[in-house]
Amino acid sequence: MPTLFDDIEKVLITKDELQTRIAALAAEMNAIYDDDDLPMLVCILKGAFMFLADLTRHLDFRHEIDFMEISSYGSGTTSGSVRILLDLASDITGRNIIIVEDIVDTGNTLTYILKNFTARGPASVRVATLLSKPSRREVDVAVDFVGFEVPDEFVMGYGLDYAQQYRTITRPNCCTTCTARPTAAIITCSSRRAWPRNTSNTSARCNRIRR
Ligand code: PRP
């Protein structure tokens, strides 16, 4: 009987590599912002929740947090129309915004968010993404803080899903310094095996798999 872990092809970024790089990104932000800026970090759900949690624990300046959920449906491997499923609770007029994404792939989602935010009159907007796939870009979009540039492989774990599953999956004992199961790593899946088990609305979900 195959287990969840059989769906992992390889560990692309280890837990330690993730944490080291996230601390470095936070250091970059700490050099730019101070308490007076009072930035608002906007976590783009769902994928960025782990990145936001780890990133913010390294920030030295006062900041606030808000959440936005975006959905982008397309066919095959491209993003199509983008829409807001959950909007910000806060007014961002005059605020310094840091958008926190898990991955920038085609760039269509981020382009939509930036256009949407610009219309709300923020003082500044910067973008942090844990992962970027430059080879997949369809629109040129500026990203200020990039954790890792990754190849065009399907990645999951550390918040990133495959058909809403696998967001927390890691390979047991992939970290030799850790006897417990690592709680966070970016992995690639064995595409033949990984499949949306026990998932409702399967056809809709499969239609938008592109990472
Ligand atoms: C992912 C990711 C980005 C977007 C990037 O979200 O979180 O928002 O795709 O893709 P793009 O650059 O091609 O537009 P997804 O729609 O998978 O939702 P999720 O975060 O809830 O998994």
Tell me the pLDDT tens digit for each residue of 152-209: 988 989 999 888 888 888 665 454 333 334 445 667 665 444 444 444 433 333 333 4
CA of 209 to the centre of ligand 1 (A): 10
Catalytic residue list contains 105 = yes
Residue tagged active-site, from 105, 140, 152, 161? 105
Rounded to the nearest angstrom, the distance between the alpha carbon of 184 and the centre of ligand 1 is 19
pLDDT averaged over every residue in the chain: 83
pLDDT at 194: 45
CATH number of the domain that residue 60 is part of: 3.40.50.2020
Q: What is the mean pLDDT of residues 69-86?
A: 73
Q: Which structural domain, as residue segments, surrounds residue 175?
A: 4-210
Domain count for the chain: 1
Please give the model's pTM, rounded to 2 decimal places. 0.84
Q: Which residue has the higher pLDDT, 67 or 181?
A: 67
If one residue of 82, 102, 165 were mutated to test the ligand 1 pocket, choosing by the most ligand atoms within 8 A of its CB, it would be 102
- In this predicted model, what pLDDT tens digit does every residue of 105-147 receive, in sequence order? 999 999 999 999 999 999 999 999 999 999 999 999 999 999 9
b/e burial code for range 13-52 (CB count within 10 A of at least 16 → b)? bbbebbeeebeebbeebeeebeeebebbbbbbbbbbbbbb
pLDDT computed for residue 119 by the predictor: 97
Residue 208: the pLDDT is 37
Distance, C-alpha 51 to centroid of its chain: 7
Whether the CB of 105 sits within 6 Å of ligand 1 = yes
Query: Residues 6 or more apart from 91 whose CB is under 8 A from it?
Result: 120
Euclidean distance between CA atoms 58 and 178, whole angstroms: 22
Ligand 1 geometric centre to CA of 22 (Å): 19
Mean pLDDT across the stretch 40-48? 97
